[in-house]
């Protein structure tokens, strides 16, 4: 009952901000309207995380996010575009594209792949508050449109997305990054290793596949626990070596990477002089003892890292905090 009340409270808060945004739009107070829309999207994201996946209110909240995305462009002059990208023999996918709020400049761009349980539009609704004002474009792809293919085809689809961005007049083709949310962090790693044009990657650093392989070896070979630590370290960082770009691994929270494995990977990569950063989301303890990741601070940290890595004149490593 307590959780249901909180869902209603946050949904009601989002609805209230939507009404405020509409009032400001009518008065042509666009900055105030934009701020209200962003507050509404954040409130709806909180409500979505509190509601169970099979709860019918989950679809209602997602619909409110999609409606907000269509309206927010009226206030800051950059509407979300629905873009169909042809992927050769694999058909086509529908993506969401938000251009950077820059004029006559080629801006960096991020390909964002949603987590396995949400659509691309829902992810964009969550990311808008941290994307606006950073001078970067985002192309958001749904996890299901990329993951539901044979091995190798997912990378091909993402390459078509990168091709699309590379020829856009508002995008700097040398500054395109990939960000995988949730289980899509694995897809982001595979794609960054596959396509050398990627300038930065928020991914799992190969930890998911490494951990799965190690468990298989331990199941088949009981003596694997006593294997040489140097060999294990070399194997752990092997995939990271194939990524010719800076990478950020998000550990803990709702991600697929454990904190312990992320720390081990970073230590191994530092020894091998591979550029890997790790960030751990702040966790908030709920009223019933459950832990909820602070997605606001986590998303801000991720996009601050991306902003630094894709800066045209960035010459030195920054510390993620």
pLDDT at 206 exceeding the cut of 60: yes
d(CA 4, CA 263) in angstroms, rounded, equals 37
Residue 224, pLDDT above cutoff 70: no
What was the pLDDT predicted at 164?
Answer: 97
Q: Tell me how crowded residue 270 is: count the other CB atoms within 10 A of its CB.
A: 12
Domain shared by 171 and 203, yes or no: yes
Alpha-carbon gap, residue 171 to 188, rounded angstroms: 20
Spell out the SS3 assignment of 124-172.
HHHHHHHHCCCCCEEEEECHHHHHCCCCCHHHHHHHHHHHHHHCCCCEE
Looking at per-residue pLDDT, the higher value among 118 and 87 belongs to 87
- pLDDT for residue 304: 95
Domain limit, last residue, from 33, 54, 77: 77
Say if 250 falls within a structural domain: yes
C-alpha pair distances (Å), 217 with each of 210, 231, 241? 11, 14, 22
72 and 169 in a common domain: no
Q: Range of 41's domain?
A: 1-77
- Dihedral (Cα; 287, 288, 290, 294), 10-degree rounding: -10
In a domain, residue 318? The reply is no
27: pLDDT strictly greater than 70: yes
Mean pLDDT of 244-251: 92
Same domain, 72 and 119: no
Are 269 and 294 in a shared domain? yes
Same domain, 144 and 224: yes
Sequence-ordered alpha helix ranges (H) in 51-95? 56-76
Whether 263 contacts 237, CB under 8 Å: no
Q: Both 72 and 142 in a single domain?
A: no
Q: For the residues 197-208, what does the mean pLDDT come to?
A: 92
Residues 92 and 50 in one domain: no
Average pLDDT over residues 22-30: 88
Residue 226's pLDDT band, with cuts at 50, 70 and 90, is very low
Q: Are 149 and 191 in contact (CB under 8 A)?
A: no
In a domain, 317, yes or no: no
Contact 199, 179 (CB under 8 A): no
Residue with tokens 């990477």: 257
Q: Which residues touch 201 (CB under 8 Å, ≥6 apart)?
A: 177, 178, 179, 188, 189, 191, 192, 243, 245, 246, 247, 248
DSSP 16-48: HHHHHHHHHHHTT-HHHHHHHHHHHHHHHHHHH
Give whole-number Cα distances, 191 to 43, 53, 91, 147, in Å: 32, 29, 19, 12
Whether residue 12 is found in the same domain as residue 96: no
The chain-wide mean pLDDT, for the chain, equals: 84
Q: What is the DSSP letter of 257?
A: B
The larger pLDDT score, comparing residue 102 to residue 32, is at 32
Structure confidence by residue, pLDDT tens digits, 86-109: 999 999 999 999 998 766 689 999
Among the candidates 77, 97, 126, a domain finishes at 77
Q: 20, 55, 77 — which closes off a domain? A: 77
Indicate if 154 and 191 belong to the same structural domain: yes
| pLDDT for the residue 14 | 92
Same-domain check for residues 43 and 162? no
Q: Do 222 and 143 reside in the same domain of the chain?
A: yes
Whose tokens are 């700097």? That residue is 172
CA distance 111 to 97: 9
pLDDT of 228 over the 60 cut:
no
- CA–CA separation, 4 vs 52, rounded Å? 10
Q: Residues 14, 182, 175, 319: is their CA dihedral positive or negative?
A: positive
Domains contained in the chain, number: 2
Are 129 and 275 contained in the same domain?
Answer: yes
Give the domain CATH number at 203. Answer: 3.40.50.1820
pLDDT tens for residues 124-182? Answer: 999 988 998 889 999 999 999 999 887 789 999 999 999 999 999 999 999 999 999 99
CATH code, 64: 1.20.58
Q: Which pTM value belongs to this model?
A: 0.85
């Amino acid at each position: 009952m307590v959780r249901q009340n909180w869902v209603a409270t946050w949904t009601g808060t989002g609805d209230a901000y939507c009404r405020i945004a509409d009032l400001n739009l009518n008065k042509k107070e666009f900055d105030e309207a934009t701020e209200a829309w962003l507050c509404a999207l954040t409130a709806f994201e909180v409500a979505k995380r509190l509601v169970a996946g099979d709860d019918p209110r989950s679809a209602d909240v997602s619909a409110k996010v999609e409606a907000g995305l269509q309206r927010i462009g009226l206030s800051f002059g950059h509407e979300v575009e629905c873009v169909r990208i042809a992927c050769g023999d694999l058909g086509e996918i529908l993506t969401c594209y938000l251009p950077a709020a820059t004029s006559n400049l080629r801006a960096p761009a991020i390909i964002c792949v949603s987590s396995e349980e949400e659509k691309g539009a829902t992810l964009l609704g969550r990311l808008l508050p941290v994307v606006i004002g950073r001078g970067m474009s985002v192309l958001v792809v749904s996890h299901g449109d990329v993951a539901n293919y044979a091995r190798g085809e997912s990378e091909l689809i993402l390459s078509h997305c990168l091709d699309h961005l590379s020829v856009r007049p508002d995008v700097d083709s040398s500054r395109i990054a990939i960000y995988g949310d949730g289980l899509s962090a694995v897809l982001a790693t595979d794609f960054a290793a596959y396509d050398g044009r990627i300038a930065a990657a928020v991914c799992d650093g190969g930890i998911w596949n490494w951990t799965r392989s190690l468990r298989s070896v331990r199941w088949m070979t009981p003596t694997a626990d006593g294997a040489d630590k140097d060999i294990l370290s070399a194997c752990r960082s092997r995939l990271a070596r194939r990524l010719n770009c800076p990478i950020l691994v998000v550990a803990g929270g709702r991600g697929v990477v454990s904190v312990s494995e992320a720390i081990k990977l970073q230590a191994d990569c530092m020894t091998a002089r591979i550029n890997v950063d790790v960030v751990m989301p702040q966790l908030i303890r709920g009223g019933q003892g459950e832990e909820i990741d602070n997605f606001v601070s986590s998303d801000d940290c991720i996009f601050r890292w991306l902003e630094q890595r894709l800066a045209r004149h960035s010459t030195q490593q920054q510390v993620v905090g």
